[in-house]
Chains A and B, each alone.
Chain A
Amino acid sequence: MAEMTLAKALNASLRRSLAHDDRVLIMGEDIGTLGGVFRVTDGLKKEFGGDRVMDMPLAESGILGMAVGLAFKGFRPVVEIQFDGFIYPAFDQIVTQVAKLHYRTRGNVRMPITIRVPFGGGIGAVEHHSESPEAYFAHTAGLRVVTCSTPQDAHTMLQQAIRCDDPVLFFEPKRRYWTKGEVDEDAIDRDDVLPMGSARVVVPGSDVTLVTYGPLVATAIDAAAAAAAESGGGDADAVSIEVIDLRSLAPVDVDTVVASVAKTGRLVIAHEAQRTGGIGADLAAELTDRCFYHLEAAPQRVTGFDIPYPASRHEEHFLPDLDRILDAVDRTMGRRPALYAGAVL
């Protein structure tokens, strides 16, 4: 086991993938000589050469379209999109080609393309550098969408994504790149490793299920700790929160969430992305369907607002934080009025 940052874990994961399979290619803007703007690809070009770790001309549609052609030829391209807000020029290639070619060719052509996207806010960046576009891709059949929250998951899941024969959008929580953690670099080869499509119970609890992913997992863990410690008026005030890291956004491991909600009877979902049409909306609908008779309160969502990601001096208000999450927890507990109490005529 080694302690490393999430960014370093990704770097180590890419190095292993390149060594593991010589059909793996790394492609992106500034990823070669520079090592990527977040240094996730640092040193890889030097080690594996410019034919395996390729700096790309500055055109996202071009990069993804080239990856499609390479996949046709039997390669496994790993593409870095420099920032979340720059994925849109490649949207057509991803949604129309990468996602659908396996289906359109009746399984004859595989698109084992991994698309790495640093995503989310909280680093005080200028516009187009803090977006959470995951729902666009989760909505698209043919794509898998995953995100990691720890160095260990970063290391393991990225290798799983690259080995997967389907295209995977791999969202990296950029404000957690510098988070450190223990990494077992051989975890991928072990039988008990969690498959890429599964959610993980991070903190066990009994009163409320709190589901989140990516950058907010750390916030959720803090919220659970704070809620457990809230015993000013004795144990009765403490709330036991079960935190679930979704890890996979398409498909969602609904069973793990269902099992938790069947136990707690309460559900709070948190994500940075805008609320409308988000992962939380979908999960709330699914859980309402499957856990209707277990639910003690309406599922609550804590999300970014339906505004473009705001200027950095606003982001602390835009991003769900510990207090907003605990506020939602309190509402499911009946300690605060429901948001729409009395709204039904």
Chain B
Amino acid sequence: MPSSLSESRESRPRASAPHDRPVQLLDPSGRRVPHAPYDDYVADVSGDQLASLYEDLVIVRRLDVEATALQRQGELGLWPPLLGQEAAQVGSARVLRPDDFVFSSYRENAVAYCRGVKLTEMLNVWRGTALSGWNPYEVGMATPAIVIGTQALHAMGYAVGAKLDGEDSVAVAYFGDGATTQGDVNEAMVFAASFRAPVIFFCQNNQWAISEPVTLQAQRPIADRAPGFGIPSVRVDGNDVLAVMAVTRRAVEQAREGGGPTFIEAITYRMGPHTTSDDPSRYVDPLEREEWAGRDPLARVEAHLREAGVLDDALAASIARRADEAAAEFRAGCTEQTDPPPLAMFDHVYAEPHRGIDEQRRQFGEYLESFEEEN
């Protein structure tokens, strides 16, 4: 018998996968593998369309690298890299319609990119010029949730609202493996099942919650939980953009038709640190990382497209150029941002006039002006 809780944790084997084999349509070498019924959901994706998905992957990775550099140069306070998770994010987000609504956490910058969030707006949170970058209603994506798991409830509530309004739009909640331990995510699943809400729970199981391995959160595959709530679930190779697209399309289609929620577990890997302040060398086994590097989400699409004769060096070069242009725009949008004026911090606390805030703004304004008079 293990003598302590931590020993019992460490001596336990990593969770294996008794659940379905994760859906995969492109294997790590780029070979197309058949997988019914999901083949049908991407039967219409032409070589050119796959190339445009590939371009997305390249661009979001390039932006991520640029943001990391901006943080290192002191232009951003922090950045949460998505390196390794590009396919999970792009594959799912590209399926959505403009009138669908996304509730994400802080790492879904590729999702934000796909939703049409302006590059500058993506950065001001991390630069500290605003608490959130964009108007959620312009892009169909809420302000990212920093508090782990909370957004699953908001997505569920939004989905119930869409249903009450008689619309066929869906809401998608993105969260990590660590988040599945939170009460909010579990409560969201109970409510979603009870109300047959058109919501997709999209879990990116990137194996880590900062330094904690997924085995500390779950002793069974995470997707196994959802059926207990009455929600169908599917595991998908999260590094396979085509497979992610297929399973998300199926879930979205079912939700639109009144079939209720689906839980998707995208199995992927966080190749970088949790954030730019993190030091994964303290907890990550380099061999494990190397193993996952062999399943890179970009490499397999590239190999597949080259094999199919869709991608050649000229196209690859033009994609790289577009990525560099996006990165340059990203950088400019970051460094050109100016600090907001001091009194702006009192804006938007309330929607309607509020005597307490109005008074404090007035007092602080007078205080600031008193210095100007002295000068």
Q: Which residue of the partner chain B has the closest CB to A110?
A: B351
Interface string of B127-166 (1 = CB under 8 A from A): 0001110011100001100010010111111111110110
A106 and B132 contact, Cβ closer than 8 Å, known pairs A62-B191, A142-B349: yes
In the assembled complex, A152 has its CB within 8 A of some CB on chain B? no
Kindly state whether residue A61 has any CB partner on chain B within 8 Å.
yes
Which among B147, B150, B153, B171 has the greatest number of chain A C-beta atoms within 10 A? B153
Report whether B137 and A67 are in contact in the complex, using a CB–CB cutoff of 8 Å: no
Complex contacts, B164 vs chain A, CB 8 Å: 25, 51, 75
Kindly specify which of A97-105, A228-236, A302-310 makes contact with the partner chain.
Answer: A97-105
Contacts of B135 in A (CB 8 A): 105-106, 108
- Tell me whether A57 and B191 are in contact (CB under 8 A): yes
Question: Is B194 in contact with A69, judged by CB distance below 8 angstroms?
Answer: no
User: A69–B184 contact, CB under 8 A?
Assistant: no
Given the complex, which residues of A lie within 8 Å of B154, measured CB to CB? 65, 68-69, 72, 97
Measured CB to CB, the closest approach of chain B to A319, in angstroms, equals 28
Residues of A within 8 A of B152 (CB): 65
Q: Tell yes or no: B122 within 8 A of A by CB.
A: no
CB of A104 within 8 A of CB of B191, answer no
B157 cross-chain contacts in A, Cβ below 8 A: 65-73
> Which residues of A, 141-186, contact B by the 8 Å Cβ criterion?
141-142, 144, 164-166
**A70 and B143 form a contact (CB under 8 A):** no
Contact of B188 with A by CB under 8 A: yes
Q: Is A342 an interface residue (CB 8 A)?
A: no
Asked whether B150 lies within 8 Å of A97 as measured between CB atoms, the reply is yes
How many angstroms between the C-alpha atoms of A260 and B162 in the bound complex?
50
The interface centre, meaning the residue of B101, B150, B165 with most chain A CB atoms within 10 A of its CB, is: B150
In the assembled complex, A337 has its CB within 8 A of some CB on chain B: no
Known contacts A72-B157, A93-B153, A110-B351: does B131 contact A103 (CB below 8 Å)?
yes
Residue pair A166, B136 in contact (C-beta under 8 Å): no
Q: Are A251 and B101 in contact (CB under 8 A)?
A: no
Q: Is the CB of A107 within 8 A of B348?
A: yes
**Residues B350 and A102 in contact, CB atoms below 8 Å apart:** yes
B183 located at the interface, meaning its Cβ lies under 8 Å from any Cβ of chain A in the complex: yes
Q: Considering only CB atoms and an 8 Å cut-off, how many residues of chain B contact the other chain?
A: 43
Which residues 341-372 of B sit at the A interface, judged by CB distance below 8 A?
A: 347-352, 354-357
* Pair A101/B143 contact, Cβ less than 8 Å: yes
Q: Which of A270-308 contact B (CB under 8 A)?
A: none
The answer to whether A253 has its CB under 8 Å from any CB of chain B is yes
Contact of B150 among A57, A59, A93, A141 (CB under 8 A): A93
**B165 neighbours in A (Cβ, 8 Å):** 73
List B contacts of A204 (CB < 8 A): none
Q: Bound state CA distance, A228 and B190, in angstroms?
A: 58
Cβ–Cβ contact B188 & A62, under 8 A: yes
Q: Is A323 an interface residue (CB 8 A)?
A: no
A115 vs chain B, min Cβ distance (A):
15
Binding site for B on A (CB under 8 A): 25, 51, 56-57, 59, 61-62, 64-75, 89, 92-93, 96-97, 101-110, 112, 141-142, 144, 164-166, 197, 250-253
Q: What are 21 contact pairs spanning A and B, CB under 8 A?
A: A61-B184, A62-B191, A65-B150, A65-B152, A65-B157, A66-B160, A68-B157, A69-B155, A70-B157, A70-B160, A93-B150, A102-B351, A103-B348, A105-B135, A106-B130, A106-B131, A108-B135, A109-B143, A142-B350, A166-B354, A197-B355
Given contacts A66-B153, A107-B351, 16 further A-B contacts (CB under 8 A): A59-B187, A59-B191, A62-B153, A62-B188, A65-B184, A66-B191, A70-B160, A93-B153, A104-B132, A106-B347, A107-B348, A144-B354, A164-B352, A250-B356, A251-B355, A252-B356
